[in-house]
Structure 1
Amino acid sequence: MKRMDRKLLALGFAVYLYILIKIILFKYAPVEIAFLLRQLHSVMEHPEIIENGLAYANFTPFFSIHQNLDHLSNTHDFVNLFGNIALFVPLGIFTRLSAKGGLFTALVLSLGISFSLEGSQLLLSMGSFDVDDLILNVLGGLIGYAICLVVPQPAAAFQKKS
């Protein structure tokens, strides 16, 4: 891959990560580092906040997914189910385009980034931890990777320049 292509890929990946963090952690609020620091300070002063977060966390695989599937006509459930998948499709594509990333890399990156974001939601009291989000995010990453296998022309063109 040419140096310029690598730079564009890295820039695209950085923009993707920013958007991912914005959507998952900040939802519709602006990205503010000061807010993150206040949240962290608050949790450090009141560790029971994490206990409360753990009490509301979902550690039962497929519990939320089952609920979402039962209520797909509800916009929130529909967006939660398919949004968690769609958000990580680009990660699988970036993994495949990087030329070094195989299926296992896509799986590990999807799981690692998803777990980091879910853990951040819990630790910063900015959302709730849900194991089903991990499952859906990893599925999205693997779908993105598979898209590059099924539609190999863009990936092959990108990788031939190596």
Structure 2
Amino acid sequence: MENARTVSVMNVGKSAKKLFWFALFLIYGYGLVKVILFKYGTVDAAVLGRQLQLAVDNPEHALHRLSFGNFTPLESITRNLQRLSNRNDAVNLFGNIAIFAPLGAFVGLLTRMKWLGAILVAFLVSLSLECAQIVFSMGTFDVDDLILNTLGGLLGYAGYRLFTLQH
């Protein structure tokens, strides 16, 4: 009987820990959407609704916004590397990596996915946010953001794996 109680307490502790990490993941997800879509302004669902309605009513508006995007891999990355002394370029380069690193760690913490799964999740979340910028007219599409964000997710997953191997 004592053994069953110990296992039950351990399972409750494990569930509480998963719930804690999931709650932290939701907070991170909110912050990610806020920074990517709203930059540093307030999150406003009404604004999203109006922007979505604009995209539905005028699909050519979204197509026009796509013309401002970067679809050439490494173009923005190269430009940012050449101008690292410019604070905005450095923030764009390293910020895109840093903001997705927690996503990779959360993939490790909350799922049983391996490396490829972590890469795929980071890529798909990044692609969704890049496309959302077009639909909601809140930024421009940049293929290099996909590359940097996916790299960030991969580095976050690698950090998670290194940490769990040591403990």
The normalised TM-score by structure 2 is: 0.88
Q: Residue 57 of structure 2 aligns with which residue? A: 45
Q: Residue 111 of structure 1 aligns with which residue? A: 123
Look up the SS of the partner of 1:56 in the other structure: coil
Q: Residue 143 of structure 1 aligns with which residue? A: 155
- The residue type equivalent to 1:85 in the other structure is I
Q: Does 1:30 align with 2:42?
A: yes
The normalised TM-score by structure 1 is: 0.91
Q: Larger C-alpha radius of gyration, 1 or 2?
A: 2
Where structure 2 has 5 or more consecutive residues not aligned to the other structure, the ranges are: 1-10
Q: Does 1:125 align with 2:116?
A: no
Separation (CA, whole Å) in 2 of partners of 1:42 and 1:34: 12
Q: Does 1:83 align with 2:78?
A: no
Where structure 1 has 5 or more consecutive residues not aligned to the other structure, the ranges are: 157-162
Report the identity percentage.
Answer: 46
Q: Deviations over 1:100-126 (max 9, x none)?
A: 121111101101100000000011111
Look up the SS of the partner of 2:138 in the other structure: coil
Say how many residue pairs are matched. Answer: 155
Separation (CA, whole Å) in 2 of partners of 1:102 and 1:51: 36
8 A contact 2:96–2:152 mirrored in 1:
yes
Q: Does 1:68 align with 2:80?
A: yes
Q: How far apart are 1:153 and its partner, in Å?
A: 6.0
